[in-house]
Amino acid sequence: MPENPMDGWKGLRDIRVLDLSRLLPGGFATVLMADLGADVIKIEDPGSGDYGRLVDPDAFAALNRNKRSVVLDLRDPDGRETLLRLVERCDAVVESYRPGVLEGMGLGFERLRAANPRVVLCSISGFGQSGPYASRPGHDLNFLALSGFFAVPHRTEGAVDRVGVRVADLAGAMYAAFTTSVAVAAAGATGQGQHLDVSLHEAAAAWCGPLALPLLERADPVDSPLVTGDNDVFVVADGRRIAFATFEDKFWLTFRRAFAEEFPALADEAYDRRADRTRAKREVRALLTDVFAQRDLAWWTASLSALDLPWAPVYESADEVLDDAHVQDRQLVGTLPASATERSRRQVRFPVLFGAGLDSLRGAAPGHGEHTAEVLAELDG
């Protein structure tokens, strides 16, 4: 295993993972483990490798930092035999083929377990390894559509729309990384690995469930007490947007009293209690829509910044995120070093600060097959 600069604590340094996945869900799951010190060996085919390299090089670089790349042709018996030799020395295998594909190559869980009884196989798929949708193709938007994501309203009118972030893919990836780490720890204690069946659809449903299922008791989902007129995004006079969330009474009172002279409509005390604002959610949203539309973002920023209120400008470009003083102070975005095959790139670090330290931006994404000779030589070591 290569040297890993995580002085003072192990993290996941003692774990070796074979990453057979492609694109976002598997890549994000394994980069989380790689950031925390795991030796993640990315297995790629001899052609162009992970087609994420061609689709979006920047995303590929973010999803594959701190990994090693090995080229193996799993359609060839020699390639499969080499993979099984690697399995003997690894703790986990992460794959994202459709159900049955790995088994069809002679590399299903029973075959992997014969090579290494302690191995954990994490299979990430759209709908899981069983059930009527198991063989169905899909992408993030399809999983969200069936998960309850669009059943949870976020404002008083209008259909729930999608977001740009791939929520189902990332939710499933986080469950995959977490459960793989847990299962590897359990295998260390029992000597027995297991097969993890991670469904992206079910991961999204798990995130939506606490908000979606209580709506079964309501004729109109908008009647949910979590949908309020004073917790939304509002357009200001210059077309920019601000996020405003005075869920608690103390924040509403502070806002109303501070601006009642400037905007007489806020002088009304009718909405000072949470229950009253919730009952009149449509009226409250209309009130705030009108108030915010009367001044531009600069005015609201200057006026609201002096108050202890839960509000924020809506950043609509990466530049705005990077320029944020808090992002800079926390060093949330850093520079991944260049390598022989990769230029330096700005990336978001692992989003937890460990007291013992963690340098998650330590190694660039590998070139296609960059570590093949190195890793295969370790088999004979």
Q: What is the pTM of this model?
A: 0.93
Catalytic residue among 19, 50, 169, 232: 169
Structure confidence at residue 34 as a pLDDT band (50, 70, 90): very high
Pairwise CA distance, residues 202 & 144, whole Å: 9
Q: Which of 309, 251, 331, 228 is nearest to 301 (CA)?
A: 309
Give the residue among 379, 331, 359, 336 at the shortest CA–CA distance from 3: 359
Q: List pLDDT tens digits, range 290-300.
A: 999 999 999 99
Does the pLDDT of residue 5 top 60, yes or no?
A: no
Q: What is the pLDDT of residue 217?
A: 84
Whether 169 is catalytic: yes
Contacts of 230 (CB under 8 A, 6+ apart): 244, 245, 246, 247, 252, 271, 277, 284, 285, 288
On the 0-12 / 13-18 / 19+ scale of CB atoms within 10 A, 284 is buried
Token pair of 69, please?
A: 């790349």
Give the rounded percent of residues in the chain with a pLDDT score beyond 90: 87
